[in-house]
């Protein structure tokens, strides 16, 4: 039976039905939800309204969604992207790549802020904001659509503060040193938002000590957020770093969304969630992981993850698909380096990222991102 016929057949399935022969690959507890997931390319949630400048990428994402079950690799979509490079330093350090492509941020003359009050005032409007210095105690601040926030130099950012990017689109955050969110909060919380680029920042807290729940995440995205790129960042000294999809019970909103690219990031002394992905589609490439005692990449609740050209050094459960959720995720690993770091992949489902990108080899990636990720590399 064709995929199109399977989609039509889904309408005849209910909770008391037996599993049809054509859906024998379905493994989720809810047959109806699994049927949607496997055969309608992402469930019944509405697709996000893309920014007009990014329609081409959104179309490519839709066309590149796999049509096969986990048992069969998926052929590349006709307009899917491809990887280039493979040497040290081949990727450009100041270029937006990935699912977040099309994000442009704010426009106009930059507003320079040197205090929390000035920053909060500037965030009342869209535009370009440059933070000069390390600001402390600003609490959680809402970021509007069409906004760029960037630090000046290598030592500008926030302490005991954070950003909430909620129900907006087209936001860029770059070159900030962000340390210690407010209690039980995130440094950056992305919720129900699209086209977000988080680039060349340092995210940290007090390390893997004390109460693991005192701080929440460093960089989280949830509730149907989509078209995200997180690049050239450093995630260090924290319990739970980066969560994509906040709940096993939020599939109706998250399925078919949460497309995120992580590339050229450095992860060190992180306990877990590096990242953790539910329901979404994540492409992780050319990154370095060092000294993660619990887990690294965690694919859950049917999420599809491709990890390539990445080095894992002393990372327990470096790539895992059956941790912390009631349903496994999918993961494919390609051209990675594992040193005292074993993956634990229970199921695979290949996909081709719908964009062109340049990888740097796993053999040299740690040296590269230690030097080129984080603050002080790009100019605001």
Q: Measuring CA to CA, which residue among 281, 357, 311 is closest to residue 90?
A: 357
Q: Is 273 a catalytic residue?
A: yes
Cα separation, 240 vs 105, whole angstroms = 28
Cα separation, 102 vs 58, whole angstroms = 9
Sheet of 127-131: strand order equals 111-113, 127-131, 147-151, 169-174, 194-199, 226-231, 259-263, 281-285, 304-308, 330-334
Q: Would you say 227 and 49 are in contact if contact means Cβ atoms under 8 Å apart?
A: no
Q: Which stretch of DSSP H or E encloses residue 313?
A: strand 311-315
- The residue annotated as part of the active site, out of 223, 273, 278, 300, is 273
End-to-end C-alpha distance for the chain, whole angstroms: 54
Cα–Cα distances (Å) from 69 to 40, 82, 183, 351, in that order, read 12, 22, 42, 11
Cα separation, 100 vs 103, whole angstroms = 6
Q: Which two tokens stand for residue 115?
A: 């205090």
Q: In the chain, where does DSSP find H-type helix? A: 3-10, 31-39, 55-63, 116-122, 251-254, 365-372
Q: Which two tokens stand for residue 232?
A: 């050239």
Cα separation, 161 vs 163, whole angstroms = 7
With left for phi above 0 and alpha for psi between -120 and 50, is residue 225 left, alpha or beta? beta
Q: Measuring CA to CA, which residue among 297, 143, 166, 142 is closest to residue 235?
A: 297
Q: Which residues participate in catalysis according to the annotation? A: 273
């Amino acid at each position: 039976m064709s995929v199109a016929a399977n989609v039509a057949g889904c309408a005849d399935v209910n909770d008391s039905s037996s599993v049809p022969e054509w859906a024998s690959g379905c493994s989720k507890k809810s047959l109806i939800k699994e049927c949607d997931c496997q055969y309608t390319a992402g469930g019944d949630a509405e697709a996000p309204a893309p920014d007009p400048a990014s329609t081409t990428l959104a179309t490519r994402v839709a066309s590149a969604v796999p049509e096969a079950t986990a048992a069969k690799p998926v052929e590349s979509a006709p307009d899917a992207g491809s990887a280039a490079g493979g040497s040290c330093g081949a990727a450009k350090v100041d270029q937006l790549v990935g699912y977040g492509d099309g994000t442009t941020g704010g426009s106009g003359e930059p507003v320079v802020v040197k205090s929390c009050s000035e920053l909060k005032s500037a965030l009342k409007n869209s535009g370009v904001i440059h933070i000069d210095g390390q600001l402390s105690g600003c609490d959680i601040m809402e970021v509007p659509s069409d906004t760029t926030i960037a630090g000046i130099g290598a030592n500008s950012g926030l302490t005991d503060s954070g950003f909430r990017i909620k129900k907006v689109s087209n936001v860029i955050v770059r070159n900030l040193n962000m340390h210690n969110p407010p209690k039980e909060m995130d440094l950056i919380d992305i919720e129900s938002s699209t086209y977000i680029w988080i680039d060349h920042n340092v995210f940290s807290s007090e390390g893997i000590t004390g109460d693991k729940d005192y701080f929440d995440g460093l960089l989280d995205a949830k509730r149907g957020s989509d078209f995200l790129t997180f690049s050239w960042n450093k995630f260090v000294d924290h319990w739970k770093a980066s969560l994509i999809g906040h709940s096993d019970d939020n599939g109706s909103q998250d399925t078919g969304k949460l497309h995120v690219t992580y590339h050229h990031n450095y992860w060190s002394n992180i306990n877990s969630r590096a990242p953790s992905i539910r329901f979404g589609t994540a492409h992780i490439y050319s990154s370095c992981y060092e000294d993660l005692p619990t887990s690294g990449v965690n694919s859950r609740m049917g999420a599809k993850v491709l990890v390539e050209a990445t080095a894992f050094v002393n990372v327990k459960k470096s790539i895992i698909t059956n941790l912390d959720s009631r349903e496994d995720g999918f993961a494919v690993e390609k051209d990675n380096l594992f040193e005292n770091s074993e993956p634990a992949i229970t199921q695979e489902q290949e996909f081709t990222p719908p964009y062109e990108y340049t990888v740097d080899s796993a053999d040299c990636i740690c040296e590269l991102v230690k030097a080129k990720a984080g603050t002080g590399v790009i100019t605001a």
